[in-house]
Amino acid sequence: MGKKSRKQQESEAKQKLCHALSDKGVVRLIDSLLERTSKFSPGSTANPNASTWEEYDAIVKLVHAIEQRQGPSPMPLPPRKDSVDEFVTWLTSNGAKFEKVEIMECPGAMGYGLRARTSIKEEDKVLEIPNSLFFSKEKVMSVEMEGLVRLEPLLSAMPNLVLALLLLNERYSLSSFWKPYINVLPNSFNLPLFFNKEDLLELQGSPVLMECISQVRNIARLYAILHKQLRAFSNFSLPICTVGFHLIDFKWAVSCVMSRQNKVPVSRSLSHLYKENQLVLIPLWDMANHTQGRILSDFDTDTQACISYSMSDLSPGDEFRIFYGPRGNGDMILNQGFAVEDNEYDYVKIWIGVSSASNDCIKRMVKRLRFTMLSTFSVAQGDSPFNEELIAFVRLLTTPEEEMKKWEEEKRTDEQIKEILNRKAWVQGDQRVMEFLEKRCQLLQLPYKTTIEEDKELLASDRVTGRTRNSIILRLMEKLILKNASEVAASLKAKLEGDGVEEIAWKGTNDAKKLKKDDDKLEETKDEGVTASTENGKLENGKMEEIMKIEETELPLKESKNTDDAEQEEADSK
């Protein structure tokens, strides 16, 4: 036979592409999805406007059309309960130790969990999962997938996205070592990615609402980008090119990683200095459900395993749970798909920005001190709900123009001005700060569609379950936090306005979680007045910001017998 022409080779290659990548109708829909999600970037307001909802509706309509055109998964997951025995055999044959617990099916929407088989004492070792069972890039990355990662800049910048693609590729592979683990992973999730519009409207008033909309937009955009890249890549040794790259399966893989990923140390030298972390999925350990408590899991550098201990005494049949870490309910909803009543780490994320109508003196000072024109802060629970960064920023915003001009005339240094803004005591003039925060926290309560009393009544009834219940918990906790913060500010304002009061001692803060601020970003917001809202990252002008928000736990190191004192100090610091 003669040598095939290039045209013939290309024709045969296209025939090898899976239906999800080659169907022209699907391609047209996905190109429309990419165009739509590229133009739409949810704004910095807690409550979506009509335009935001219109764009959201259009994206969801395209997503549903793509899923309908692609049809069911080419590699559907078996029922979880039918895969448990094979999974247990796989774990034990590969060195996992979990004799004290067994897998259980939990009531309601909790899926699966672990329960005690025998009596367990507090701080008893319960789980030991060897590194060899960690699902990680280092273990499953192929030469072909490396080529795709090098080709697509998004993948190089987002290890969590790479992990999701690898998981999907292994799911599509008939001979994957990880099949027993993949088959017991959840086949449905309560993440905002799967919310309908009615579910989202339960979050009306919450700053988390816009983050939920962003999650839908961002994951849809990621899929469209990768679909286009895979069509051009066409490597026929990758199952995601030949078996399928269905949107419904991509959402599954992303959800698995979002809700289950963790960081563990990785050694890149013979000296066993753990200077880097890698993202992994840890089989069985990730089936333990959450409860409030303390982190009692670590990575043992001697045994190269994840070790988990019990937080309390357990009797046979009691559920074994772990603490996922100090996270607010917004983070829980976005990344785990549930909220926790009386979450001691809960907080409300707010945006406070400089109004375009503000005087030039404030704008100059904000830029000079390297604040951002629109900054993210957290309002926490307790008697000190405002953190130092928030107080400093509001002090600056409420400082009279005459006083700022005096700072400039006296040639005060940045350090001297920061010392005024960061002082650890409430003094005369701070009543302006408290009045600002009191009113701000009151205003932020207005957009919610229910009252505190109505939410408490709903939770006390059996009328709400699943996503709706989680949303009610989230918004109730947020309103309680804002109400308390407003009352704390009003109380401090009244004290500062009292006769003869010159200074009130600083009690510190009850910060549940400090949020990062991009001190180098000084763009001026277009919003009129001070704003309070949330916004996820975006991909704009070829620059990748955070578009797949994922919360992960970083397992602490357990003391190694093989490191010297200096090396151990460095390991402990991580």
For residue range 303-319, list pLDDT tens digits in order. Answer: 889 999 999 999 999 99
- Give yes or no for residue 268 having a pLDDT over 70: no
So what's the pLDDT on residue 147?
86
**Please, what's the b/e burial string for 222-231 (b: 16 or more CB within 10 A of its CB; e: otherwise)?**
bbbbbbbebb
Considering only 38-52, 66-80, 86-100, 208-222, which range has the smallest mean pLDDT? 38-52
In whole angstroms, give the CA distance from residue 63 to residue 54.
14
What does the chain come to in residues? 574
Which of 554, 515, 246 is CA-nearest to residue 380?
515
Domain residue ranges of the chain, discontinuous segments joined by +? 10-78+137-260, 348-544
Location of structure tokens 């017998």: 561
Of residues 505 and 510, more confidence is placed in 505
Q: What 3-state DSSP class applies to 394?
A: helix
Over residues 551-567, the mean pLDDT reads: 47
Confidence band (pLDDT; 50, 70, 90) for 558? low
So what's the pLDDT on residue 563?
36
In whole angstroms, give the CA distance from residue 404 to residue 382.
32
So what's the pLDDT on residue 264?
86
So what's the pLDDT on residue 528?
27
49: DSSP letter:
-
Residues 6+ apart with CB under 8 A from 39: 55
Exposed / middle / buried, residue 172 (Cβ in 10 Å: 0-12, 13-18, 19+): buried
In whole angstroms, give the CA distance from residue 396 to residue 388.
12
Which of 241, 259, 200, 265 is CA-nearest to residue 59?
200
Location of structure tokens 């992960």: 552
Considering only 161-165, 199-203, 268-272, 399-403, which range has the smallest mean pLDDT? 268-272
Over residues 150-172, the mean pLDDT reads: 91
- Give yes or no for residue 41 having a pLDDT over 90: no
**Percent of the chain with pLDDT strictly greater than 90:** 62
Q: Which helix (H) or strand (E) holds 277?
A: strand 276-281
User: Using CA of residue 160, residue 163, residue 250, residue 202, what is the dihedral sign?
Assistant: negative
For residue range 8-26, list pLDDT tens digits in order. Answer: 444 444 455 676 678 899 9
- Give yes or no for residue 93 having a pLDDT over 60: yes
- Give yes or no for residue 215 having a pLDDT over 60: yes
Considering only 58-67, 428-437, 557-566, which range has the smallest mean pLDDT? 557-566
So what's the pLDDT on residue 7?
47
Residues 6+ apart with CB under 8 A from 180: 83, 86, 87, 89, 90, 91
Over residues 399-411, the mean pLDDT reads: 92
So what's the pLDDT on residue 565?
41
* Inter-CA distances, 373 with 355, 367, 369, 536, 569, Å: 8, 8, 11, 17, 39
Which of 58, 32, 67, 558 is CA-nearest to residue 307?
558
Residues 6+ apart with CB under 8 A from 6: none
* Inter-CA distances, 240 with 17, 21, 24, 231, 357, Å: 9, 9, 18, 11, 52
Of residues 320 and 506, more confidence is placed in 320
Hey, what CATH topology would domain 10-78+137-260 get?
Answer: set domain protein methyltransferase, domain 1 (3.90.1410)
So what's the pLDDT on residue 241?
86
Q: Are 213 and 56 in contact (CB under 8 A)?
A: yes
Axis-axis angle for helices 360-368, 401-409 (nearest 10): 50
Confidence band (pLDDT; 50, 70, 90) for 447? very high
In whole angstroms, give the CA distance from residue 396 to residue 373.
12
Q: How many CB atoms lie within 10 A of CB 359?
A: 13
Q: How many CB atoms lie within 10 A of CB 523?
A: 8
Over residues 486-506, the mean pLDDT reads: 83
| CATH code for the domain defined by 348-544 | 3.90.1420.10
For residue range 323-370, list pLDDT tens digits in order. Answer: 999 999 999 999 999 999 999 999 999 989 888 888 888 999 999 998
- Give yes or no for residue 559 having a pLDDT over 70: no
So what's the pLDDT on residue 267?
57
Over residues 535-563, the mean pLDDT reads: 39
* Inter-CA distances, 535 with 46, 60, 334, 420, 547, Å: 9, 19, 13, 30, 10
**DSSP bridge pairs for 351:** 376
Location of structure tokens 């993948």: 155
> Across the chain, what does the average pLDDT equal?
83
Over residues 212-229, the mean pLDDT reads: 94
So what's the pLDDT on residue 499?
65
Confidence band (pLDDT; 50, 70, 90) for 38? very high
Amino acid identity of residue 312, one-letter, is S
For residue range 139-160, list pLDDT tens digits in order. Answer: 998 888 888 888 888 888 899 9
User: Using CA of residue 274, residue 277, residue 283, residue 287, what is the dihedral sign?
Assistant: positive
Over residues 501-515, the mean pLDDT reads: 58
- Give yes or no for residue 284 having a pLDDT over 60: yes
* Inter-CA distances, 253 with 164, 445, 514, Å: 5, 36, 29
